[in-house]
Structure 1
């Protein structure tokens, strides 16, 4: 994620916002969330092929639902509300607050908290699966 933002900044002169620490915090929390989901999926899948299939389905479905393929503001109001059940919408909103609106840490507190909640939920589910597989 960091490399993508650096590439955008260096090659396309994209602004990274005024608070680099807020950006780094969002990157770290999104990485934790992604890793937690990956741990859970690795316990659910029985084969590498299943893991690939599950991962692709979840990533594509949640990306579409979360506003990374189609801006949320273009979706019907009901879909905008449903989008809040996937981490991507919270991450996208947090990055937009930092980069587009020049937000700071206090402007992304809710986004970070929700992403940490998703991470915790994924990790708890993974731990439960680990215990039941013994």
Structure 2
């Protein structure tokens, strides 16, 4: 798998990163999710994972030819806008050793692969009812 770095939103110790691949996919590196209330809201299949990233990470989609990195709707695979204002992205957990070796991934992060079509569809205005999914605050 060939990777093309699109951008990252770095603060000390935080490095969510966005890559484009030669497989018509994006790799989203983000924080592993440990909150049980949030995990309970996701339907993760075999080999899938979810990561949390700042919303600003997707501004880097402009470097892949998109006029805006601002999502107009949220649906599969971009599952949830959290109460804290971050996105939870669900996809196939990346296991390709060569691709992983080219990334710097702290223990508290992982990488998921999501189709470009699924991500770029979220940049379009929703048709019909608003399909936004939001995480339910913990009770």
Q: Is the TM value for this pair above 0.5?
A: no
Task: Looking at secondary structure, tell me which structure has more helix per residue.
Answer: 1
TM (normalized to structure 1)? 0.26
TM (normalized to structure 2)? 0.26
Task: Looking at secondary structure, tell me which structure has more strand per residue.
Answer: 2
Q: Which has the larger radius of gyration?
A: 1
